[in-house]
Homo-oligomer: A and B are copies of this chain.
Amino acid sequence: MPQDIYDKIMMLAKRRGFIYSSFEIYGGVAGFYDYGPLGSQLKLNIENLWRKFYLLKDNCVEISTPTVTLYEVLKASGHVDEFTDFTVDCKKCKQSYKVEDIIDENISVEKALKKIKVKCPNCGANLKDAYPVNLMFSTKIGVGSARDAFLRPETAQGIFTDFHLLYRYAREKLPFGVIQVGEGYRNEVSPRQGIIRLREFSMAEAEIFFDPNDKTHPNFKNVKDKELYLFDNEKEIKLTVGKSVKNKVINNQALAYYMYLTQDFLMTAGVNPEKFRFRKHASNELAHYATECWDAELFSERFGWIECVGIADRSAYDLRAHIDSSGTDMYALRKYDKPKIVEVKKIVPNMGKLGPLFKGKAGKIKTLLENTEVKDTKKISVSLDGKTIQIPKDCYEIVETKEKLSGEKFVPHVIEPSYGIDRILYGILEHNYHEGNKKGEEYRILKFSPLIAPIKVGVLPLISDEKLIKIANEIDRNLRDADIETYYDDSGSIGRRYARMDEVGTPFCITVDHDTLKDKTVTIRDRDTTKQVRKKIDDIVEYLNEKK
């Protein structure tokens, strides 16, 4: 059977310790993979490079919240109701399918469901009665009076539900950004694309909060002349960041800035620029929370263009939803130049009445009432847990008062770059895979950037001589003490050992030879040019640090 590049990469990945199928000894389950020693280090290096872009370049802060997420959070965010796939079960052979997977690409799911002449790919029976299946893994917290929970479908909600605390951390100034790196979960009906469609995956998300009146970015000026690789669903174009915003190809500075940051990160990590583009979501593709979204896509020879990053304008959707459902004050303040004296109608809640009537919810209703703008003094209602509650007249007073306002309250908008780390990792593997034939022997090279290579340098005594081994071990120890990932190898011919290091993407190899004994120098071989330079042992650390 001829192998395509995916097969080749996954074989190399298993053989050399990048990626294994999870639970393989118990038959495995689609949608779960393990990262082996090299895959895990590669993933960590990609994540840490990503952190540098967001924490150090862009001044975001990071938080870390649980993967187990309370029902109430995901009810409010819309995931309980909207995070679904249309699914159809075969009555005959009992297989379940995601409708999207088994219909023609050009037909929408809605259309397919109406026409419904789809046949079971397994047994050929006619399929009907598709139904929405929620894609969250469900669980319960505690025993007895247990509470419903899900594994988070995105890390973002952990950031939104802490917004008021993070706003205080940011000393009440916008814009500010918060990132989270960690697992996300999606209980796919029947995932069939290997490492590309996982049920448990690694995400890196940034939520940047903006005043909706001001979606400029302080660093925009530094990137406005850089070119973005765009695809408008018809043709691919290169356009500067500045022009993209000016010509309304991209809605605002903030979106365009984070698109460029994303492109810069991906290229730095080793994505091939010729296999990269941003594609704009059509309006019927948008997630339930998004008003505009661009996908960063990487081209794969097996899968075609795959989405690896989504950069969405989530507007005020999520914060508004949590304010309405929880009654928490999650507003930001737009300060006036000088305080204004205004006449306002204020609702003064009467807790003596609200308490007995609404019990546990009374406190939240009080907060909501105090933040309600009075339009119709005769009818006052609040939204809580998705319901509109009419408040009886005896539960409040409306007073007219003069108030000194330091600013006006508003719900911030959110720009969200959301990265699928596993797909980026696979894309980097595919884009950096090279193979060929040298003197009758097959070779494979992963041309990883030194920034993300799981092993930075191989340390190899030229031959198996005790004196050389001793020095090589010392060099290895010193490099490790300097936080450089090494791989010591003294078995087999030097050519074979170089090949082993090339195959796992190690950018440099140090060889200790007989001259080392004389003049304390070694050779350092470059993976891509195979050229060797002679360096003093004492200068190795500096030489390698300059290369990364």
Q: Which residues of chain A (137-156) have a CB below 8 Å from chain B?
A: 137-145, 147, 151
Q: Is the CB of A26 within 8 A of B73?
A: yes
- The complex is assembled from copies of this chain, and their number is 2
What per-residue 1/0 map shows which CB atoms of A154-171 lie under 8 Å from chain B? 000010011011100101
Interface size on A, residues (CB 8 A): 83
Binds B, one of A60-68, A289-297, A521-529: A60-68
Rounded to whole Å, the gap between the CB of A388 and the closest CB of chain B is 19
Is A262 in contact with chain B by the CB < 8 A criterion? no
The CA-CA distance from A322 to B22 in the complex, in Å, is: 14
- In Å, the complex CA distance between A200 and B41 comes to 24
Which of A29-37, A206-214, A268-276 is found at the contact surface with chain B? A29-37
Tell me if B37 and A161 are in contact (CB < 8 A). no
Judging by beta carbons under 8 Å apart, are A66 and B17 in contact? no
Contact of A137 among B17, B139, B169, B328 (CB under 8 A): B139
Residues of B near A55 (CB, < 8 A) are 485
Across the interface, A142 reaches (CB within 8 A) one of B169, B189, B200, B328, namely: B189
Chain B hits for A32, CB < 8 A? 66, 68
Residues 282-321 (chain A) with a chain B CB within 8 angstroms: none
Question: Contact: A63 with B87, CB < 8 Å?
Answer: no
Interface check A483, CB cutoff 8 A: yes
Partner among B14, B31, B68 whose Cβ is within 8 Å of the Cβ of A199: B68
Contact B64 A17 (CB under 8 A): no
Q: Please tell me if A399 contacts chain B, counting CB pairs below 8 Å.
A: no
CB distance from A221 to the nearest CB of B (A): 14
The reply on A72 being an interface residue by CB < 8 A is yes
- Contact A145/B94 with A139-B137, A322-B25 known, Cβ cut-off 8 Å: yes
- B residues in contact with A31, CB < 8 Å: 141
- Scan residues 49-98 of chain A and give those whose CB is less than 8 A from a CB of chain B: 52, 55-57, 61-70, 72-73, 87, 89, 94-96
Q: Within the complex, which residue of B34, B171, B480 is in contact with A56, where a contact is CB–CB below 8 Å?
A: B480
A73 CB contacts on chain B under 8 angstroms:
23, 26
Measured between alpha carbons, how far is A63 from B16 in the docked complex, in Å? 13
Asked whether A419 is an interface residue with its Cβ less than 8 Å from the other chain, the reply is no
- For A95, the chain B residues whose CB sits under 8 A away are 144
Asked if A64 and B89 sit within 8 Å, CB to CB, the answer is no
Does the CB pair B139–A143 fall under 8 Å?
A: no
Does A68 lie within 8 Å of B151, measured CB to CB?
yes
Query: Contact between B67 and A143 (Cβ–Cβ < 8 Å)?
Result: no
- The answer to whether A328 touches B25, judged by C-beta atoms less than 8 angstroms apart, is yes
Q: Which residues of B contact A165 (CB under 8 A)?
A: 14, 17, 20, 36
Are B190 and A29 in contact, with the CB atoms below 8 A?
A: no
How far is it, in angstroms, between the C-alpha of A165 and the C-alpha of B39 when the chains are bound? Answer: 13
Question: What is the CA–CA distance of A70 and B200 in the complex, to the nearest angstrom?
Answer: 13
Q: Is the CB of B35 within 8 A of A68?
A: no
CB distance from A209 to the nearest CB of B (A): 14
Q: Which residues of B contact A185 (CB under 8 A)?
A: 68
The interface bits of chain A over 190-215 (1 if a CB of B lies within 8 angstroms of the residue's CB, else 0) are 10000000011000000000000000
Question: Would you call A37 and B169 a contact (CB within 8 A)?
Answer: yes
In the complex formed, the residue of B with least CB distance to A44 is B62
The CA-CA distance from A517 to B55 in the complex, in Å, is 29
Output the residue of A22, A26, A189, A483 with the most chain B CB within 10 A.
A26
Q: State whether the Cβ of A532 lies closer than 8 Å to any Cβ in chain B.
A: no
Question: Which single residue of chain B is at the shortest CB-CB distance from A178?
Answer: B37
- Are A169 and B36 in contact (CB-based, < 8 A)? yes
Are B139 and A66 in contact, CB atoms less than 8 angstroms apart?
Answer: no
Interface status of A326 (Cβ within 8 A of chain B)? yes
A70 touching B35 in the complex, CB below 8 Å, given contacts A94-B145, A483-B56: no
Instruction: List 16 A-B residue pairs with CB atoms under 8 Å apart, sorted by A's residue number.
Output: A20-B162, A20-B165, A22-B65, A25-B330, A26-B325, A34-B65, A34-B66, A34-B162, A35-B64, A133-B143, A137-B141, A141-B199, A142-B188, A142-B190, A151-B151, A183-B183
Q: A17-B61, A22-B70, A137-B141 given. 4 additional CB < 8 A pairs? A: A23-B72, A24-B161, A35-B63, A44-B62
